[in-house]
A and B are shown apart, each in its own frame.
Chain A
Amino acid sequence: MAESSKAAAAGPDFGKAAKDALLSGIIAFALFGPLVGLRTAQNMNNELVVLNELGKALLITAIVVAGRFLLSAFVFPAIASRGKKSKAILTPEEVAAASARTRNVSRGALLFLLVYPFLMVLIFGVQGSIKWVDNFGIQILIYVMLGWGLNIVIGLAGLLDLGYVAFYAVGAYSYALLAINFDLSFWILLPLSGILAAFWGMILGFPVLRLRGDYLAIVTLAFGEIIRLVLINWKDFSGGSAGISSIPKVTLFGIKFDASPEGFAKMFDLPMSSAYYKIFLYYLILALALLTAYVTLRLRRLPIGRAWEALREDEVACRSLGINTTNTKLTAFAIGAMFAGFAGSFFAARQGFVSPESFVFMESAVIVAIVVLGGMGSMVGVAIAAVVMIGGTELLRELSFLKVVFGNDFNPDQFRMLIFGLAMVATMIVRPRGFVSARQPTAVLFERKAISGDLVKEGHG
């Protein structure tokens, strides 16, 4: 500590920084030189040839060198001299202030969410609001809901589930198949697909009860892939990779959102637009997401919620205290899966089309990333992470003005997942406990206090 502060006082060590920068430059050029600088492409005769684009590679190398130099010269010494200031335990006053802040932020956010579609209609007009309500509002809320659902499994019960998207798929296909084959309404099928997904959660949960940590993660990943592969290959049942199309839309008390005389627009003498349906869907998913949040918050206060958190901290201690770990784990799986099932049936109704393409492993990884980046167990954190990650990557689609700068071939959309992955790694390095890393224990002795996420053993069991 003393040494580093001395170094900071003496000014940055440019010699060492230059050496670091040179070394990382060499490595960066060795890696980016071939991968970026020598692009393989097919020519007119359909032969694969190498195109020389070393300029790009040199540019990336220069950025790496400059970045590494700045890091070594200024950022790392600054971090070292600042030292560790994180406090593990906060005082009751700080806790009260923090929880009041959280409550105010949550209330403000809720109010904003309730008026959001009307705000968009006011700003962009009825037709212009579709994009903002659909691509941003609904899309983000679906992931908030999935994040909150998975938060029960990962954040509360500490079971790392990499196959969560399988339950989302179960919900989506349940709605799609039952609605088409049996002509049932969305409002009957919504709870039904939740129940079906919960059953699948239990079926898949049973065999993995004995596993913990990484092994559990891999097995759930395998289950997720098995369900997807079965959906692709069992063509008579699920339509294979072509998927199922023309899934019925949701109705509001029997009112259809279409151009028919009994449709929503005609009934209220409004001009025909798909925006009303989008706004309706927005409120539907908002209600579903809030239901998830409400149920989670209440469950945390029930014995089962306490048991989940105890299980996360120490499974052996749990068992010796007489908690039935089998039931505890199964309920976590089943309830988490149930919310994914709700979200899935909503997804199917919104898209009007489902195919196994929507349920790849990457989706699971995105949901897990949202839960972990938000700070496992923190509802606010998960919501923030979903807004940042999904909203941020959706925003990338809007950056077409960059084409003016980088030329017409530039497509910001293709950097979406790349940036997503980088953000995952960067957040883990900078804040391994996620955006919101303080925890308030559910059960308290004597006084309420918040503890740092470092003291919580999330995801161990």
Chain B
Amino acid sequence: MSRRGFLLLALLPWAPARAQQPGFEALMRRFAALPESRATFTEEKAIPELDLPLPSTGLLAWQAPDRLEKRTTSPIEEVLRVEGGRLDYARPDRGIHREFSLEDQPEMRALVEAIRGTLAGDAAALRRHYEVGFAGAAEGAWRMDLVPLSLRVRAAVQRIRLAGRGAQMLEVDTEGNGGVTRMRITPQP
């Protein structure tokens, strides 16, 4: 999508709507039909205590039903792999490898369930964890607003905004602790 396309997307009149609307269900079905996808990402973390945002780039891989991998390649090397309730975390550059239960990591879980729930097309899972706002626009563009239901999670992550076109996720913005992390995704064939 061109830069102009992005701008247009941002200018669309987003009507806040309940997630039950047909567009949401249809989108979920389209995601559910995709067994796997790969993408590259660039990410920028803006943290109020820092002078400048922290950029990073890497790869995303999705494999239905529940396997999601986020591999950061620069500036640090980091692999985050979620499968079922397990979270594998590795920092190959530091020789660190840990396994967690997703349950014990509410901050991480908030993010994982948002992306994974969408990629899996699991509307019920999304509604279990978030208050879901959805808006569709022309040419299959859509935007989703996820507010964590759990107070405990909301202490760390206040809102996750997803945007995309068709069964493609293009943006993930995570707001928490006064900062925003913006992830831009480029799908790969």
Q: Do A and B come from one complex?
A: no
Q: State the B residues within 8 Å of A (CB).
A: none
